[in-house]
Chain A
Amino acid sequence: MLKFQLKALWLQKDVGLAVDQVVGTGSSPLTCYFFWPRDNAWEQLKNELDAKSWIPESDKVELLNQATEVINYWEEGRATRFHTLHEAQNRFPNVIFAGSN
């Protein structure tokens, strides 16, 4: 079971990504939201995770791979037709979608 959880903020102009730590019965916020393409969310998330040496390397890789997929899917929508929150949630059932506009 993954001990970390990716969260996404699904916006028309940007996509925001954050990480929660799964603890006991709930989850605990680990990072703030990082935005793409306004900022380089992937790079920022990587730096934030790398600064936390206590997180297992395999979890970091898993989280960053997920982040890449979410960003790619968002980019795909930008190139064609914006994917709705509902579509994004169906595509990524393991990601928690925190909000939209």
Chain B
Amino acid sequence: MGNQQKAGVGFTHEEFAALLDRYDYRFNPGDVVPGTVFALEPKGALIDIGAKTAAFIPLQEMSINRVDSPEEILQPDEMREFFILSEENEEGQLTLSIRRIEYMRSWERVRQLQKEDATVRAVVFAINRGGALVRIEGLRGFIPGSHISTRHAKEDLMGQELPLKFLEVDEERNRLVLSHRRALVERQMNKLETGEVVTGTVRGIKPYGAFIDIGGVSGLLHISEISHDHIETPHNVFSVGDELKVMIIDLDADRGRISLSTKQLEPEPGDMVRNRALVFEKAEEMAQRWREKQAAKLAGSPEGAQESDVVTATEEEDLAPAAV
């Protein structure tokens, strides 16, 4: 009967449609608009966004997290922003989403965090065969087992807060992958210095070198840094479980790599092969010499030489006893 009344005042269907277009031109799918919660319903909520008909937000569009009832997210008269999900239906009602906005903004934030190479902290809420799950900025993130660093069973991590670094952030493929190991290596690195002698344990031996555990993180003692003597294979020198002194020669925080050397600790070339105990006994002394050499190298750069006439790079041999 409404139609009849409208027909009575001389309103054609075309005119009516044109009028609607004029009024609602600002509501296009994909837009983000402010709205006020008008009424809560069991399966959704009615939202006033200034359209001629209250828009509807279904329960499953209210959050990126699981929602059981609208009250968890919305309260009557509350204002917030909504994403226009679809065009008006036959009743002129738009469908809205909060979930879409949250995805857009959360992914953007996570990309920002990754770009800064930030360490984030998050609580493990689930563990599966492949690894552990956490939430970062509301998104579900995955820590592969190989990137979890713990001496205990993986299951014990449930409910624990871990420091994490980003490995992969890919919104299109919905992949958010994190590393616990990288965060720990970085933290450990901040405590370590190149030229420092630390005690470690051989954890693994490869043809190209030995992996040494130093205080919970792993460093590489490359085959070329074992001794001044030629080493056929690290197996000839080390066994898993060996405890040894190593010097840190490089720290690469970006790649989470710690490079070690015993070669630089040798009092005489080849001592690592012939008399390891002697190398460890003299380790601190040799490391001190190495550090001085490094410092002299830096001071010996063209700019350094010009500034300082007193100390020249060639005096490194004389400097060592003076400093000890």
Contacts and interface: CB of A to CB of B under 8 A. Distances in A.
B188 interface: no
Contacts of B81: 30, 52, 54
Q: State the majority secondary structure of interface residues on A.
A: loop
Interface string B56-96: 00000001010000011111001111000000000000000
Given A25-B72, A32-B105, A52-B34, A99 B65 contact: no
A30 B105 contact: yes
A61 B12 CA distance: 50
Contacts of A28: 63, 80, 98, 101-102, 138
A50 B212 CA distance: 55
A23 B109 contact: no
A100 B118 contact: yes
Interface in B197-240: none
Q: Range of interface residues on chain A?
A: 20 to 34
Contact of B109 (A18, A25, A54): A18
Nearest to B35: A54
A98 B113 contact: yes
A29 B198 CA distance: 45
Nearest to A34: B112
Contacts, number: 72
B15 interface: no
B31 interface: no
A9 to B, nearest CB: 6
Contacts of B108: 32
A101 B163 CA distance: 11
B34 A98 contact: no
Given A24-B72, A24-B73, A98 B116 contact: no
Contact of B74 (A23, A31, A33): A23
B113 A54 contact: no
Interface string A78-101: 000000000000000000001111
Interface of B: 34, 63, 65, 71-75, 78-81, 98, 101-102, 105-106, 108-109, 112-113, 116-121, 137-138, 186
18 contacts: A14-B116, A18-B109, A23-B74, A28-B98, A28-B102, A28-B138, A29-B105, A30-B105, A33-B109, A33-B113, A52-B81, A53-B34, A54-B80, A54-B81, A98-B137, A99-B116, A99-B119, A101-B116
